[in-house]
């Protein structure tokens, strides 16, 4: 598949953009990760990471990137005793997680529509 795609991309000024869009389109069907407050969920199987096959999993990046990552950093830091506990109820944390998920979904949808538009133009002008 990779060899076939590389041959399709070509070598013009737009080949890298085509590669990024098509690679993105192939990864679309993968389930998107969701933020949630563990204290708000009773079913611990929802904490499982399928691809890594680990029962408990959390993910975060640099806290300068996203608000959700700041919250995760603060919660992990408090759970490790490196800072005082966060003064938020689990329902408030879950509400923040829901909001972050909504924004992430909206962003993903815009990205998908942009990729669809680019792909349509690519197909139209491709000999």
Average pLDDT over residues 22-47: 76
How much is the pTM? Answer: 0.63
Q: How far apart are CA 125 and CA 117, in angstroms?
A: 13
Tell me the average pLDDT of the chain: 82
pLDDT digits 0-9 by tens, 70-126: 888 888 899 899 999 888 898 999 999 999 999 989 988 898 899 889 888 888 887
**What is the reported pLDDT for 44?**
81
Separation of alpha carbons 10 and 18, rounded Å: 9
3-class secondary-structure state, position 63 = coil
């Amino acid at each position: 598949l990779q060899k076939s795609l590389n041959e399709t991309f070509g070598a013009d000024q737009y080949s890298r953009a085509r590669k990024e869009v098509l690679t993105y389109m192939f990864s679309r069907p993968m389930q998107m990760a969701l933020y949630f407050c563990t204290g708000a969920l009773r079913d611990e199987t929802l904490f499982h990471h399928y691809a890594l096959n680990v029962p408990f999993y959390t993910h975060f990046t640099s806290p300068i990137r996203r608000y959700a990552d700041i919250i995760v950093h603060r919660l992990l830091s408090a759970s490790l005793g490196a800072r005082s506990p966060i003064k938020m109820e689990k329902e408030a944390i879950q509400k923040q997680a829901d909001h972050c998920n909504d924004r992430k979904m909206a962003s993903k949808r815009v990205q998908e529509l942009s990729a669809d538009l680019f792909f349509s133009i690519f197909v139209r002008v491709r000999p």
